[in-house]
C-alpha cells in the first residue's frame, strides 16, 4: 500500500452576506477533514465588491493555504459543496453579485489545469487586489504562473496602477 501524496493548494475566501466572519470561519472548519489540512489562514481584508451590482455590501476576503490528498477536481467539488452548505445557491445568483460564501481554488501544486469547469491557476487572480493582498500575507515570494512575478510584486504593480502616476 503506497502512501498518499499530499498536494499544496491556496484557496480564496470571500463573503458579503450575513455574518461574513462566521461564514468564513465555518468554511475553514468544514475544510479541515482527514483529506485536507488547513496550514495557514491570512488576515481578512474588507473590500468593495468588484464587477457586480454596485449596491452590494462590502466583502471580507482572505486566502488559506492547505494540503490535500484530493485531486484538484475533487477539491473543487468539495469547495462548492461547502459553499452550498453555507447558503450559496450558484444557480440563482447574479454573476459577481452578493453571496454568503465564495471559495476559489487559486493554485494546486504548480499545476496548470484547463478543463471544463476547472481552471488552475485561477484565471483572474493576478488582476484582483482583494485576492493578492491576503495571498501576499501567506506567500509573498511565490511566483505567479502567468506573469512570472511574485505575489508581492504583482500586488505592488496593481496598487501603482490604481494610484496612477506620481506627481
Three cell numbers, residue 19: 455574518
Any catalytic annotation for residue 114?
no
Q: What is the CATH number of domain 7-123?
A: 3.30.70.560
pLDDT digits (tens, 9 = 90+) for 55-101: 889 999 999 999 999 999 999 999 999 999 998 878 777 777 788 99
- Asked if residues 13 and 30 have their Cβ atoms less than 8 Å apart, the reply is no
pLDDT score for 111: 92
Would you call 102 a catalytic residue per the annotation?
yes
pLDDT number for residue 1: 44
Q: Residues 104, 142, 152, 156: which is the catalytic one?
A: 104
Q: What percent of the chain has pLDDT over 70?
A: 95
The pLDDT of 19-39, averaged and rounded, is: 95
Question: What grid cell was written down for 54?
Answer: 454596485
What's CA 99's distance to the chain center, in Å? 14
Rounded mean pLDDT, 16-44: 95
- Residue spans per domain, the chain: 7-123
The pTM for the full model equals 0.91
- For residue 100 the three cell numbers come to 454568503
68 φ, ψ (degrees, to nearest 5): -150, 150
Among 20, 78, 99, 128, the one annotated catalytic: 99
Catalytic choice (20, 78, 88, 154): 88
Amino acid at each position: 500500500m503506497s502512501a498518499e501524496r499530499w498536494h499544496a493548494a491556496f484557496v480564496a475566501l470571500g463573503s458579503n452576506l450575513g455574518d461574513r466572519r462566521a461564514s468564513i470561519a465555518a468554511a475553514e472548519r468544514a475544510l479541515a477533514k482527514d483529506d485536507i489540512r488547513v496550514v495557514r489562514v491570512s488576515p481578512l481584508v474588507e473590500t468593495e465588491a468588484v464587477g457586480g451590482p454596485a449596491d452590494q455590501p462590502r466583502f471580507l476576503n482572505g486566502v488559506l493555504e492547505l494540503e490535500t490528498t484530493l485531486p484538484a477536481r475533487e477539491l473543487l467539488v468539495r469547495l462548492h459543496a461547502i459553499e452550498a452548505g453555507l447558503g450559496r445557491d450558484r444557480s440563482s445568483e447574479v454573476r459577481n453579485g452578493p453571496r454568503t460564501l465564495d471559495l476559489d481554488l487559486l493554485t494546486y501544486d504548480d499545476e496548470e489545469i484547463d478543463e471544463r469547469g476547472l481552471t488552475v491557476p485561477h484565471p483572474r487572480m493576478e488582476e484582483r487586489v482583494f485576492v493578492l493582498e491576503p495571498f501576499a500575507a501567506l506567500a509573498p515570494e511565490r511566483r505567479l504562473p502567468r506573469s512570472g512575478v511574485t505575489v508581492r510584486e504583482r500586488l505592488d504593480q496593481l496598487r501603482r496602477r490604481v494610484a496612477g502616476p506620481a506627481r
